Amino acid sequence: MNKIRNVFFSLIAVFAVISSSFAQQQKLSANEITQFKSGVTEKSKKIKSLKTDFVQHKHMSFLSNDIETSGNMVFQAPDLLNWRYTKPYQYSIVFKKGKIHINDQGNKSSFDASGNKMFEKINKLIIGSVSGNMFDDNEFSISYYKNKTHYVAKFIPKSKDLKKVIAEIELYFPFDTFVVSEVKLNESSGDYTRIVFKNQQLNAKVSPSDFTN
């Protein structure tokens, strides 16, 4: 049970980022929401693969400094994803054909994501955030905003079980790319995780070995 709990929180960590320096947000109008969702959808149709580096900051109320980790991510449409931590430790999570494969510094394990509803929902949202197919009103209450440089989509879980862990997820899309550049996960405990994506390569060459760990 402890191992499953650790994996779950690792998956949550996959889904989190945002810089606190973002300016005040303004709610989008109905017309702007339509334009934004259309822009993300059209962009996602052109993305066959994505490679990106990331820096993750985990904020916990009882620590004076955030915990910083870094690594890289590889995505191939429609649903292959490898999230790999490289510093200060080696840890990777591969989403592949409905299964989640974990490599914790050489200790490997796999399980079926569909066997756990929370894993399934998070898996779907993670893949959706990369592919642009994440606007599911059945699973989340979604609101839309903008600041000076980004569109912001905020997701509040409808599932009571998921609400126990996740209070809100925020995705940030630059005006000029419509590709997720930052994510923030606000946990129900009040802690949060921040991840910033850097050096994004759209439609970069990938191989089957990119999705093995």
Give, for all 213 residues of the chain, the pLDDT tens digit: 444 555 555 555 555 433 333 457 899 999 999 999 999 888 888 889 999 999 998 889 888 888 999 999 999 988 888 999 999 999 998 988 888 899 999 999 998 877 666 666 666 666 676 666 677 677 789 999 999 999 999 999 888 888 888 899 888 999 988 888 888 889 888 898 888 899 999 999 999 999 988
What is the predicted pLDDT for the residue at 198?
A: 93
User: What's this model's pTM, rounded to 2 decimal places?
Assistant: 0.79
Q: Is 66 helix (H, G, I), strand (E, B) or coil?
A: coil
Whether 201 contacts 50, CB under 8 Å: yes
Domain that holds residue 141: 2-211
Whether 120 contacts 3, CB under 8 Å: no
CA 188 to chain centre: 17
28: DSSP letter: P
What is the predicted pLDDT for the residue at 84?
A: 93
What is the predicted pLDDT for the residue at 112?
A: 85
> Which position has the token pair 């079980």?
161
Cα-Cα-Cα-Cα dihedral sign, residues 45, 49, 54, 58 = positive
Q: Which of 94, 87, 119 is nearest to 109 (CA)?
A: 94
Give CA angle at 198 (195, 199), nearest 5°.
Answer: 160
Residues 102 and 73: their CA atoms lie apart, in Å, by: 14
Task: List beta partners, residue 156.
Answer: 141
Which domain CATH number covers 207? 2.50.20.10
Residues 140 and 181: their CA atoms lie apart, in Å, by: 21
What is the predicted pLDDT for the residue at 31?
A: 96
CA atoms within 13 A on the CB side of 120: 8
Structurally, the chain folds into a number of domains equal to 1
Give the pair of three-digit tokens for residue 177: 């790319």
What is the predicted pLDDT for the residue at 129?
A: 66
